[in-house]
Amino acid sequence: MTYIILAAGKGTNLQPLTLKTPKSLYKLDRDTTILQRMVRLIRKYDPKGEIVVIAGFMYEQVFRDLENENVKLVRNPFYATTGSLASMWFAKKYLERDNLTIINSDIVAESKLVEDVFCKNTDVPYVLIDSSKTEGKYNVQVNDDRICVMSKSLSSFYAQYVSVTKLDAVSARFLIEEIDNMVNAEMYDQLFEDALVQMIFENDFDLYYKDIKDYSWAEVDNVDDLIRAKEVQKK
């Protein structure tokens, strides 16, 4: 399986903590950063997996953090003015895989979640959601077992998006095509998830979901999240 970890952003919500270092390099303990922890957990449960990290802000720091972790690094030199859609465009050759897991670099997940879900193959495209969360920054509305829409501005929603997407070979190729279309239309500042939404609305794309409400995880967007992340790390 191939894992793409999105780590190009500046982490502005955590400033001033992220003025001189990417938030994915925040240390959960004396020896382990958020990014290292995810890479090592993937290696534990999928030793032969291909891990690709897309970096931008403080690229050299990310490189040093991972230089002994057997990963491939892709650089988004325009991270300051683009979104994750552009980052995925720079790494689109790695989307041409039979199974793909796309993860935001600020996700801290319990070991069991990585084993049970992140590192398992899939034959359908789906995103991870948490229906126990009521105040997420990026949320989803669903219809039966499928995603209707994903957005930062839903007035009502079913669950929080967990910033992890899993794709099979066919859906990964559809995503490449949509990313190319959006980049050609100069939509550089969009999230790659917005390409999934476009596929739903324009092509009746079936995007499923998996509710992980029974697992422990955190997405590090603020100081409170850092505390929660350390709790997940200890678990």
Range of the domain at 42: 2-234
Q: In the prediction, which pLDDT does 233 show?
A: 86
Count of domains forming the chain: 1
Say which CATH number the domain at 169 has: 3.90.550.10
Instruction: Report DSSP state, residue 211.
Output: E
Q: In the prediction, which pLDDT does 18 show?
A: 61
CA–CA separation, 115 and 40 (whole Å): 12
Residue 78 CB coordination number (10 Å): 13
Residue range 178-217, pLDDT digits in tens: 999 999 999 999 999 999 999 999 999 999 999 999 999 9
Residues pairing with 150 in the sheet: 140
**Which residues in the chain come in under a pLDDT of 70?**
11-19
CB 114 within 8 A of CB 128: no
Q: In the prediction, which pLDDT does 225 show?
A: 84
Residue 58 CB contacts under 8 Å (≥ 6 apart), including other chains: 20, 21, 22, 25
